[in-house]
Each structure stands twice: as C-alpha cells, then as structure tokens.
Structure 1
Amino acid sequence: MSSTLFSRIRPQADVPIVEDDHRNDAESSSAHGGVDEKNGSLSSSSEEFTKDAQNGVKGVEAITSAWTRKMLIFTYILIWIIYFVDSMQQGMTNTLTPYVTSSFRQHSLLATTSIVSSIVGGLVKLPLAKVLDIWGRPQGYLMMIVCLTLGLIMMAGCNNIRTYAAAQVFYWVGYNGLSYALSIFIADTSKLSNRAFMFAYASSPYIATTWIGGPLADAFLKGPGFRWGFGSFAIITPAVTLPLFFIFWTNYRKAEKMGLVKREPSGRTTMESIKYYAVEFDLFGLFLICAGLALFLLPFSLYSYQGDGWRSAMIIAMIIIGGLLIIAFAVWERYFAPKTFIPYGLLVDRTVLGACILSGVLFISFYIWNSYFYSFLIVVNGLTVTEASYVGNIYSIGSCLFALIVGILIRVTGRFKWLALYFGVPVTILGVGLMIHFRQPDVNIGYVVMCQIFIAFAGGTLVICEQMAVMAATSHQYVAVVIAIEGMFASVGGAIGSAIAGAIWTGVFPVKLAEYLPTSALADLPFIYGDIRVQTSYPFGSPERDAINAAYGYAQKCMCIASTAILAVAVVSVMMWRDLKVTDFRQTKGIVV
C-alpha cells in the first residue's frame, strides 16, 4: 500500500475524559499535542479532537494519534484476514443451514429461523453503537466476538430446531456486530474520500472465500457432519479476531500514557451506573422494537402451521400485539424517552433517510428472491452442494469485485449519487425482473447466472453508495450511529423479506405440490414439503420430481414478482439524496488512510 494513501492529522492539547466506573484513582496526565510518528514522542499541534464527541470517538482519535503508519498498515492486513475467515465461515454456514433444518424435518422453516435473528442482529447495532461511543471501540468489538463464538458453539450442539433458532440469534448478533465494529474501525481510520475503497478492500475476501464455503460444507457433510463444521470455527474465530482487539487496546493504553486521553472516576454507585446505562442504551425502547417486529413478522411464515391459518387466535394476537408494540415504540421515542434510540435529527435528514430506505428496500428484495434460491438450485437445477454454492455466491463475488471499481470512481470523481441513480438501481431492477422468466424448470442455468451477475454488479455499487451517503451527511461524532441506523434498516428489511418469502412459500408451495403430485404420492406430501433430501430422492423425469419442480417454479415466480415490485421504492430513495462531494469533508484525526 503506497504511503501517499496515508495522511497524518495531529490532535490538540484537549484531553478526552473517559469515565470509568471501576477505577477510583484517576490517572493524571498533562495535556500534550501531536505525536511524532517515527519515535512516538509528543509534539505541539493545534488540531482539536472532534468537538463535543463522546468518549469512544475521542478515544479512537487518541489511538490514531498514538500509533504509527506501520501499525496502521498491519491493522488493515489483520482486518482483511478477519473478513477472510468470517466470510468463509458464513459461506459454510449458509450452505449447511438447509441440511440442519432438514435433519429436524423442518426445511420449510428456513425463512422463520432467519426472521428473529435478522431483527435482533440488525437492532443490536444501535446499542452497540452506544457501546462503541460510550465505552470504546475495543470493548464493543470484544463483546461481539463472544456472541459469535457462543452462537457457533450452540449450533454445533443443537438437537432441535428451537435450539438452532436460538443459536442463529447469537450467531447473527455476533456476526453482524463484528462486521459493524470492523466497519467503524475502518471509518475511524480512513479519510472520507478513501473510505469507499477501504470498505471495498475489507470485503474483497468474499471474492476468494466464495469458492471455499461450498466445498468446505460438502466436506463436513460427507465427513464428520455439520456439527464439526460449526465447532471448528468456534475455535478458529476467536483465535483470528482477538489480535485486533489487543492492537486497539494496547494503542489506547499507549495514548493514555502519552497524555492524549485519561480516565476519571464517574462518581456513580453500581445502581446509579445501571440506571445511567439503561437510559443511555434506551433498553425499554430496544425491548419494544425487538418484541414488536418479531411478533408482527413471525406470523407470515408460521400461519400455515395453524389449523385455522390466518384466522388462528395465536396468529391474530401476534400481529395485533406486535403492531401495538411498534406504535408504542414510536410514541416512546418521540415523547418519553430520556435518550432516543434513533436520533430524530439524523433520521429526518433526507440523505440519511433516503440511504436508509434504500438499504431496507434492497434487503427486502434480496431476501424475497434469495430465501429458497439455494434449495431451488439443488432440487430444480440438480446442482451439487458445491455447484449450488458457486451460483448462489455469484452475488458475493461480483458485488465485492465491482465495489473496488466503485471505490476508485468515488475517489476520482468525489461523488457517489450518480453511480447509484444511473447504474445501481436500474441494473438491479433489470436483474431481478429477468428472474421472473428465467428462474423456472427446464431453463438453462446460464440465464440464472446472467441475472445474478447483473444483480451483483449493481448491488456492489448500491451498498457502497448508501454507506457513503449516510457518512457524508454527518460528522465523525455520529458516524457509528448513522451506520448503525443504516444497518438496522438493512436487517429489518431482511426480516421483512424473509417474512414475505416465508408467507409466499408456505402459502403457495404446499398447495401447488398437492395439485401437481400424482395421487400415489400425496400421502408423502408432508415429508416432501419438509425435507430437501426427500425432494431430491425422486429421479429427474419421474412424475413426483416433475411435480416438485413445477411447484418450486410457481413459488419462485411469485417471489421474484414481489421482489421486483418493491424495488420501485429504490428509485425514489436515491433521488432524495443530496449530491454531496466527499472530498469536501474531513472527519478523522491522526494517522489514517
């Protein structure tokens, strides 16, 4: 990496104060200026830390002022390795999930298991943003490593679908939180004009790991079993991720010793601290929105399991109570919350709001057409586990590869709106719309691949552009919050998309299966519906396999139509953005990319 990519901005004498509930002896240190990057000695400067920023922001600015360029380069290499391992593990997990649910004869609950985990995994970013801003970046990062590892351990030991669903919650909280914390590290250590490329650089391991996840999952399925797949990464993940924690923590301690940051006791008792953080993290608001969204969305994939369907008392009660909790959340945040869960001023900014809406819409669309795509490739196209993983991961390869080009274009032009409006949105609509026709039985797989390539290149463009939009619209102080809000919209959008996909699947697939199956096979309908292994056990050309494929095709067409229709909102959301020029803004301090 060329040294011209790095800039050095020195802090002023103002020392950020970090409250510590567990320390009684405040470290006294004199206020100093910047840091000589060769030997770490202090030098005078007039550059201030971000004004009125919270302790976590000032703390990371102290870190970037205390470390050297060599440490910055090493940190980015380590971040790339973490993304490599995590993306490989995620690819394997996604491939194994249909077989895990099928092992409990609950294949149709694929969408259901992802709804709660998507909601919680997305909403956790907002309280995590508070942790990163109040306690510090390393502390929040460590918490997510623990959650991710615990989720992997639970998936390795699960014996029923309920345990696996709970494990998915811990896993996605940890995985999304870890990725989010890494994104904040990148935002903290890069100039805005270079940030799009650095985000693309960090996600580039997906280009390689796409080819590994499928064969790795296949090897575990044919060998020791899926439990060992999860168990092995429960050991590998902390081993790879913890070194980055120690880098940030040791450099933070170095900044303390150099007088760039110091701790002072908060003066609160334990109970006062509990009350303080309950208000700061808006725990009541978090409970309202998590419970409300879960109760409102879950019935869409669970109604078919009730004898009365939509008329079931349980389904009606879940929808009503969930809706009331969502309304209660809005009222609480607007009128009663001492500290709001979502900063109102940020959310009404048209660039931030437009980017968040785009994020939610893209994930709704993606999860509608993608929820049963892998199963479609296995059953209808007859691909192997490895081949299906290759096709299913075209999006990961293409989006991450094209994101590098987008990052360069944003660095050169200084603008991002034109890329989203004139390329990203139209090509996404084209790719998803074409799948309505091409994702059917007896259609050459090449046409499906073509659609995936269109969606991948456009998706890589839109993800980078929406992230740049929310960050360019605010200061460094609120970067963690706006990225968390954007991520929350994405995860809630994913939950909504999964709920819609689950509703279409459970409402269409079994009905069409019963309609198409020969009379002799109707007795086996529950087993065919619930197990992908039973579906693939019928040979191609048999009446049963033709009926299964036809039912898949009809359900997939309904999903792709719904997925395309929702993308109309994406056009309006991008048009809302201000045409900001990223080279006009300066957010970060210290030695950064």
Structure 2
Amino acid sequence: MDRLPSKPVRLVQQLSPNERKVAFASICIFGAVLSLDRLTAPSYQTVAASSLDSHSLLTLVAVVRSIAAAVAGPTSAQLCEMGGLLCAYVAGVVLYAAGCLVMASAPDIAVFALGGALYELGANGLIVAQSVLIASATSPRIRLFSQTLPQLSFAVLGYPSASIYAAVLKRWGWRSGLGMFAALGPASLLPLLVVMFNGSRRTVEDLNSAASPTFDARLRPGWNGTSGDAAARKDEGGAVKPGEQRRPIEHIVALLRRLWTLLQLADAVGLFLLLCSVAAVLLPLLLAAREPSGWSSPHILLPLVLGLAILLPAFALWERWGAVRPVLPVDLVRSRAWLLPALVTALFWAAHAIQGSYLATYLYVALGASARAQQSVAVTYSVADCLFGVVLVSALVRATGRLYPFQVLGLAVGVAGIGLMLALRTSSDLARIAVAQAVLGTAGSLVVAPLQVSVQVSLDEHRLATAVGALNLFNALGSAVGSAAAGSIWSGALLPRLSSQVELTSDDVRSVYSEPLAWIQSHALGSAKRTAVVLAYRGTWTLVLSAAAGVAGLALLVGLFLPNPILDKERQDSGPVEG
C-alpha cells in the first residue's frame, strides 16, 4: 500500500501557480510586518519594563516568552501534520493578535509577560508553519534562499525602524507601538489564509472522491459527522438515514474525543512536564538575588529540586513509554542529523540571549544613547544577518551544495564578535559597538538558517514537521537559558556594585535598579552620580559578555561534529547523501 503524502505536501499540490505566487507574496508581506515588529519590540519592552517599575524583571519576561516559544514549535508542528497548515496558521494569527493587545494594555509586568507569552505562541507558531510550507514546496538546493527571502525586510526596514521607533515612542508611547501589530499582522496574512482555505477544500474533495484503498484506509468511520455504524453501512452501499445522524450530545462527545486526541498527538503532557521542569530550574536563577538568604532559601532550593529530581526524569520516562506521539521521539533524539544541530542552535541562541538581554539598557545608561541611536545599534545584528543570509550565504550554499563549512565559519565568527564586544566594553563609541553587532549578525546568517535546512533535508517529509518543531523547541530553550543566565548575572552583580558606590544614596540604588531609564533623565552623563552608575554597569557588563563568550565557544566545539550533507537540486523524501 502506497503511503499518502503529508498534509502540507497535499495542500501545496492543490495550489495553482498563481495561488502559489499569492501565497508567497503574502508570506513576504507578513515577513515585513514581523520584521518591523521584531526589530522594535525589544526596545519597546525595555521601556515598558522601566515604566512599569519592573526593569529588574526584564529577563523574567524574556524567560516567560522563551518558554512560550518552546511550546509553540512542537504544537504548531503537530497542527501542521494532523490539522493541516490552515489550522496552524489560523491558531497562530489569533494568538499573535491577542498577545499584542494584551501587552499594549498591560497594567503591570505580570500581565505584560502574559501578553508576551501569547505573542510568542502565535509568532513562533506562524514561523514554524511557514517553514513547513516552504519546505514542502521547494527543492533542497533553493530551500535556504526560500527560507531567508521573507526576512529580506529586516535589511530594508532595519535602520528606518530606528526613526519609526523614536517617532512612535515620542508621539504615542510604547503601548501603541506594540498594539498596532495586532491589526497589521492578520491583515498581511489574509491572502495566504484565503489561498490555503481554497486549497484545503480541494484536498478534502479529492479525498472524498477517491475510491482507492489507500485513501479509504486513512479515513476513520464517522469522520463526516455520522456514527460509526452508519458510516460502516454507508461503506457497504446503504444510504444513511436522517434518523441515524448523531444526536447533539454525540457531537459534543465526539468533539471532546477529538480534542483529547489532538492533545495526545501534540504530546501536551510531555510539553507540560518539560516546560515546568525548565521553569523550575530557570526561575530560581532570576529570583535568587532578590532573596535575603540567596541560594540557601527554601523558596530557591525547592523549585530546583522539583525540576531536576522529579519533573525532568518524569518527562524522560513519559517520552519513552507514555507518549502517543512524543514531542521528542527517541529515534529523532538518537539521530545525529538532528541532535547535533539542535544542541548547536540551543547554545548559539543562549549566547545571543546573554549578550543581548541588557544591551539596550547598557546603551541608554552607560553610553547615553538616544532612542534612535540605541535602536540603530540594536538592529545592526538583524540587518547584517539578513543581508549576508539572503545575498551571500544562500547563493554560496546553492552554488556549492554544502552547509557544514558555513556553519563552522559562522560559529567561529560568533566567538570573535563577542570577543570584540568584550574589547569594546570600556568604549563609548556607538559606531564600534554597531560593527561588533554586525559581526554577530554575520555569524547568525552563517549558522541559524543553514542549521534549519540541514535538519530539513536530512529527514523525510513525514518527520519534517516534528523535526522542525523540535528544533524550534531547542531554539527557544536556548534563549530561555541565556536570558535566565543574563538576568542572574545582572541582578547578582549590579546591585552590590551600585550599593558600593559612595556617591549613590539608597533611593538612587533602588531607582537605578528598577527604573533606570527614568533615573537617567535627571542625571546627565558626567555628573558624579551618573559616573558611579556607569562604573557599576561596565563591571556587570563585562561579566555578562564573558559568560556569552564561554557559551559561544562551547557551541563552536560542538559544531565541529555537525553532519555534512550534500544538497540535491530536486525535492526529495529520502534525505541527502552524507559527505
């Protein structure tokens, strides 16, 4: 019996050339919207945390968002496989818009973090669905170009976003800057949703009209709303009488059963255990500095023990023996073609999160950067990542059919970029710091997308969505670990350094720690108090960058053992040849 193509592939096969053009154009437009969102959101978040009197909890928000992003990957992947791309896209759009609205209206940092979690569920779910859609429609040789082309708007909007951010912040504030994307995102994806709806409808019609055993074997009795017995009699040639239709209570029971089946297929229990264990380990890192007794406090030790000794082993046991469809299948974890890229991407994003979590705050407070200047430096990473990824790296990969040399080179460049940031830790020249961010962006273009493509071309289409979702899970977990590490270092080192400055009063220390952007408005660069704060910031910043350099070096070490696939020119299901 022949095996049916996966649902994403079946949908793509139903699209006409013109519909594919409309779909890809909609993806690119949404890429522009998401690019502007991603470029400005970290800066808005920094201002929001300070205005909500909770700047010290900035990395806590980042950890919550990263954990939500970790949930989004596997869940969206399962929706793509079991419910189809249309279902994954609709869920992503709804969560994305809801998250933007909740953040824009948040009265405190807790609600803001909740909105950020909803946002990450939607945005990362859409990114995974987009990766699956593009991977289902392209050949391995052009897949990297197709994956990175929608990100070209990062380069186009990179530096203009600084003017947009500064203008919106000055005229309407950070709430409007975040809330406007609740309308822009869904509007840009509307053409794609219409195209996928039409394609999904044609796919269902083809399945209904197919008479081969291959299709019949895939359909469950009662899938069209009739009872199992009625469906069986219909297969035998008898018509289903109106009286044999399901009663309302049977429809409700069937809906609940389908919901439970979906939760099982999405491995909701496994995701819950994994993310609870991660949260139980990471949150104490952020909160230990706030406890008078530090790491000896029961409030800190208990979550650590719960996460490491109970929840994490329970997750491993569930994935091995309890899960119907594991979020991390054993054969996937044992596969070198997936495991090594997953470890490298987690370490790479952890290093990126460590050095980037407090970059905006450092530029504002220690260097006196304006809103526009800060945003210009912050977006340099994304601009360089996009330009090198779309223009150079994708062309070189397409010409050579290789990924491994560029991945290792990118990891080495990443270590060099963080080393350059360390060398510039006492510099007040924003241009030099921007150059260092450009070096880090170049490293990202050589590492991130090639790692995704390496996994995609190494697995058949029926494991593609699960592999992409699991890779996104490690991506988010790496960011969560990096954000927690940065928050732990920042909170643990900054407060003692501020307290040791004789020029600062206790009120100054409290204000600088919780509302630094408000405090610097009344304390100019060069004043005695501002100079004391700058010294404390520079000492803390050195520790943060040193930790990022160590993680980046570990990523390079693991990256030396990455697989070396040879990319074919035609779309394939069996995987590439190992070189």
State the partner residue of 1:458. Answer: 443
Question: How far apart, CA to CA, are the structure 2 residues paired with 1:231 and 1:523?
Answer: 33
Instruction: Map 1:99-114; keep pairs closer than 5 Å.
Output: 99-114=47-62
Give the residue type in structure 2 aligned to 1:526. Answer: R
Question: How far apart, CA to CA, are the structure 1 residues paired with 2:99 and 2:108?
Answer: 15
Equivalent of residue 420 in structure 2, options 425, 431, 434? 434
Question: How far apart, CA to CA, are the structure 1 residues paired with 2:24 and 2:257?
Answer: 39
Equivalent of residue 297 in structure 2, options 292, 296, 312? 312
- Do the aligned partners of 1:367 and 1:501 also contact (CA within 8 Å) in 2? yes
- Do the aligned partners of 2:327 and 2:466 also contact (CA within 8 Å) in 1? no
Equivalent of residue 368 in structure 2, options 344, 365, 382? 382
Task: Determine helix, strand or coil for the equivalent of 1:378.
Answer: helix
List runs of 5+ in structure 2 lacking aligned partners.
Answer: 229-252, 575-579
Question: How far apart, CA to CA, are the structure 1 residues paired with 2:523 and 2:127?
Answer: 41
Equivalent of residue 79 in structure 1, options 27, 42, 54? 27
1:517/1:91 Cα in 2 relative to 1: closer, same or farther (>3 Å)? Answer: farther
Instruction: Map 1:334-349; keep pairs closer than 5 Å.
Output: 334-349=320-335
Partner deviation per Cα, 1:59-92 (whole Å, 9 max, x = no partner)? 3323322322222222212111001011112222
Shift, 1:435, TM fit: 1.3
List runs of 5+ in structure 1 lacking aligned partners.
Answer: 1-13, 15-47
State the partner residue of 1:194. Answer: 142
1:530 aligns with 2:514: yes
State the partner residue of 2:543. Answer: 558
Instruction: Map 1:423-572; keep pairs closer than 5 Å.
Output: 423-440=409-426, 442-519=427-504, 521-531=505-515, 532-572=517-557
State the partner residue of 2:171. Answer: 223
Question: How far apart, CA to CA, are the structure 2 residues paired with 1:346 and 1:317?
Answer: 32
1:91 aligns with 2:24: no
Instruction: Map 1:268-417; keep pairs closer than 5 Å.
Output: 269-323=254-308, 324-404=310-390, 405-417=392-404
1:175 aligns with 2:133: no
Shift, 1:211, TM fit: 2.4
Give the residue type in structure 1 aligned to 2:122. Answer: G
- Do the aligned partners of 1:113 and 1:165 also contact (CA within 8 Å) in 2? yes
State the partner residue of 1:36. Answer: none
Instruction: Map 1:574-593; keep pairs closer than 5 Å.
Output: 574-583=559-568, 586-587=571-572
Partner deviation per Cα, 1:476-532 (whole Å, 9 max, x = no partner)? 11111111111111100000000000000000011111123415x343210111112
Shift, 1:276, TM fit: 2.4
Give the residue type in structure 1 aligned to 2:393. Answer: V
Give the residue type in structure 2 aligned to 1:530. Answer: S
- Do the aligned partners of 1:191 and 1:588 also contact (CA within 8 Å) in 2? no
Equivalent of residue 14 in structure 2, options 66, 69, 88? 66
Shift, 1:221, TM fit: 2.3
State the partner residue of 1:135. Answer: 83
Shift, 1:342, TM fit: 0.9
Give the residue type in structure 1 aligned to 2:22. Answer: F
TM-score (norm 1): 0.86
Question: How far apart, CA to CA, are the structure 2 residues paired with 1:201 and 1:427?
Answer: 23
State the partner residue of 2:231. Answer: none
TM-score (norm 2): 0.88
Question: How far apart, CA to CA, are the structure 2 residues paired with 1:155 and 1:271?
Answer: 32
CA RMSD in angstroms comes to 2.0
Question: How far apart, CA to CA, are the structure 2 residues paired with 1:563 and 1:120?
Answer: 23
Question: How far apart, CA to CA, are the structure 2 residues paired with 1:167 and 1:550?
Answer: 35
- Do the aligned partners of 1:350 and 1:578 also contact (CA within 8 Å) in 2? yes
Equivalent of residue 405 in structure 2, options 405, 418, 424? 418
Structure with more helix by fraction: 2
- Do the aligned partners of 2:422 and 2:542 also contact (CA within 8 Å) in 1? yes
Question: How far apart, CA to CA, are the structure 2 residues paired with 1:382 and 1:72?
Answer: 48
Partner deviation per Cα, 1:172-215 (whole Å, 9 max, x = no partner)? 11111112211211111111111001111111111122224333
1:585/1:347 Cα in 2 relative to 1: closer, same or farther (>3 Å)? Answer: farther
Task: Determine helix, strand or coil for the equivalent of 1:567.
Answer: helix
- Do the aligned partners of 2:22 and 2:192 also contact (CA within 8 Å) in 1? no
Partner deviation per Cα, 1:356-400 (whole Å, 9 max, x = no partner)? 011000111001110000111112222111111111111100011
Give the residue type in structure 1 aligned to 2:467. Answer: V
Question: How far apart, CA to CA, are the structure 2 residues paired with 1:270 and 1:182?
Answer: 28
Question: How far apart, CA to CA, are the structure 1 residues paired with 2:518 and 2:536?
Answer: 16
Equivalent of residue 250 in structure 1, options 198, 217, 233? 198
Shift, 1:52, TM fit: 5.6
- Do the aligned partners of 1:432 and 1:563 also contact (CA within 8 Å) in 2? yes
What percentage of aligned pairs have identical amino acids?
25
Question: How far apart, CA to CA, are the structure 2 residues paired with 1:523 and 1:86?
Answer: 40
